[in-house]
C-alpha cells in the first residue's frame, strides 16, 4: 500500500492543504493520504497559543468529510508530548506493515528537514512529496528522495486566515463551508492578539 502522510498544525485547515493532499494522491497514485494534526508541534514555537488540539482535529475531520482517499488520524494527539514526525512514521509502520510511505509537505518545511528530530532516519523511511509555495529557488536537503507535487502556487497562510477572522474579514475563499461553520460555532480566532 502507498500511504501519504500529511502532518501539520492545521490551524485552521484550508483549501491549500486539501489541494496539496489531493494533488499528491492523484499524481503519485497513493492509496490514501492520512492528515495528522500535531499535538505539540516542535517547529511552531513562535506561536504561543495554538488552538486546542481537539478543535484542530475536528476541523480536519469535517474538512475531510466523505472525501475519497483522505483520512484523518488523531495518533499524535493521543500520543501527547512533542509531535515528532519520526515517532508518527514508526507508529504507522506498525499499523501498515509493508507499506510505502510518502511524506507530504510544503517547500518551507522541506527546506528545514535537516533540523528535525532524527532527520537522517526519516530520510531512509519515506519519500518526500513537496509543494512549491513560492516561486523562489529552493534549498534541497542532502540525501533525500523527493519529488515536486505539480499544482498551482498556493500562497495561503493559516496565520493570515486567523487574522482575517479576528478582524471580521471574509475568508470564504480559503475555507470549506463546513470548517468555517465549525470555527464560528466555537468562536475560534476571535482573541488572537498574542499570536504571530
Q: Closest Cα partner for 91 from 110, 104, 78, 106?
A: 78
Strands 32-37 and 2-8: parallel
Instruction: Using the predicted structure, report yes or no on whether residue 89 has a pLDDT greater than 70.
Output: yes
Q: Which residues lie across from 36 on neighbouring strands?
A: 7
Helix (H, G, I), strand (E, B) or coil at 39: coil
Instruction: Using the predicted structure, report yes or no on whether residue 112 has a pLDDT greater than 50.
Output: yes
The one-character DSSP state at 69 is T
Looking at residue 43, what is its pLDDT? 73
Instruction: Give the domain ranges of the chain.
Output: 2-153
Apex 112 CA angle, 74 and 189, nearest 5 = 50
**The domain at 2-153 falls in which architecture?**
3-Layer(aba) Sandwich (3.40)
Model confidence pLDDT, tens digit, residues 113-134: 999 999 999 999 999 999 976 6
The one-character DSSP state at 97 is T
pLDDT, mean of residues 14-24: 96
Average pLDDT, the chain: 91
Amino acid at each position: 500500500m502507498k500511504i501519504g502522510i500529511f502532518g501539520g498544525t492545521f490551524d485552521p485547515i484550508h483549501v491549500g492543504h486539501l489541494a496539496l493532499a489531493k494533488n499528491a494522491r492523484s499524481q503519485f497514485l497513493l492509496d490514501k493520504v492520512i492528515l495528522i494534526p500535531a499535538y505539540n508541534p516542535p517547529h511552531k514555537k513562535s506561536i504561543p497559543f495554538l488552538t486546542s488540539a481537539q478543535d484542530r482535529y475536528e476541523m480536519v475531520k469535517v474538512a475531510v468529510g466523505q472525501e475519497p482517499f483522505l483520512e484523518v488520524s488523531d495518533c499524535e494527539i493521543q500520543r501527547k508530548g512533542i509531535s515528532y514526525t519520526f515517532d508518527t512514521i514508526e507508529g504507522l509502520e506498525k499499523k501498515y506493515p509493508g507499506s510505502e510511505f510518502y511524506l507530504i509537505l510544503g517547500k518551507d518545511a522541506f527546506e528545514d528537514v535537516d533540523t528535525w528530530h532524527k532527520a537522517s532516519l526519516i530520510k531512509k523511511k519515506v519519500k518526500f512529496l513537496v509543494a512549491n509555495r513560492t516561486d523562489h529557488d529552493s534549498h534541497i536537503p542532502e540525501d533525500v528522495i523527493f519529488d515536486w507535487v505539480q499544482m498551482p502556487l498556493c500562497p495561503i497562510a493559516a496565520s493570515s486566515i486567523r487574522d482575517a477572522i479576528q478582524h471580521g474579514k471574509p475568508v470564504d475563499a480559503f475555507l470549506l463551508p463546513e470548517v468555517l461553520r465549525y470555527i464560528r460555532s466555537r468562536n475560534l480566532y476571535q482573541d488572537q492578539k498574542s499570536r504571530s
